[in-house]
Amino acid sequence: MTYIVNDACIACKYTDCVEVCPVDCFYEGENMLVIHPDECIDCGVCEPECPADAIRPDTEPDMEKWVEFNRKYSEMWPVIITKKDQLPTAEEMDGKEGKMELFSEAPGEGG
């Protein structure tokens, strides 16, 4: 099992999760985070830290696409281990549907 970040993170990018991760498996894009599925140790400490409820176990239905999505971008983006401010749009975008159209493949700054 691994944990993944889904589209609920897009345009929010809360980073509370990165501070509790014991293996530093979060990677930062311009407007969301992902988890490297091969680095995640399945501890689950990140899941309750996400205000947007964007972190889910891969054992839930239809998570295969998110495992591959997280794998792809974690290999392209820099690692993030330090909490940062959420995006300015976070409060208004939290819980919105259809956020994939806002997704950016651009990397974040990491750190």
pLDDT digits (tens, 9 = 90+) for 9-23: 999 999 999 999 999
DSSP one-letter code for 42: -
Q: Which amino acid is at 52?
A: A
Residues 65, 27 contacting (CB under 8 angstroms)? no
Instruction: Find, among 2, 67, 7, 80, the residue nearest to 39 by Cα.
Output: 2
pLDDT of residue 76: 98
Residues 6+ apart with CB under 8 A from 66: 4, 5, 6, 56, 58
Report the DSSP beta bridge partners of residue 29.
Answer: 107
- CATH 3.30.70.20 holds for 3-85: yes
pLDDT of residue 5: 98
Residues 6+ apart with CB under 8 A from 94: 8, 12, 51, 52
Report pLDDT digits (tens) over 61-92.
999 999 999 999 999 999 999 999 999 999 99
- Structure pTM? 0.96
% pLDDT > 70, the chain: 100
Given a cut of 90, whether residue 1 has pLDDT beyond it is no
Residue 100 and residue 6: Cα distance in Å, rounded?
10
Q: Rounded mean pLDDT of the chain?
A: 97
Given a cut of 90, whether residue 99 has pLDDT beyond it is yes
Q: Where are the domains of the chain?
A: 3-85
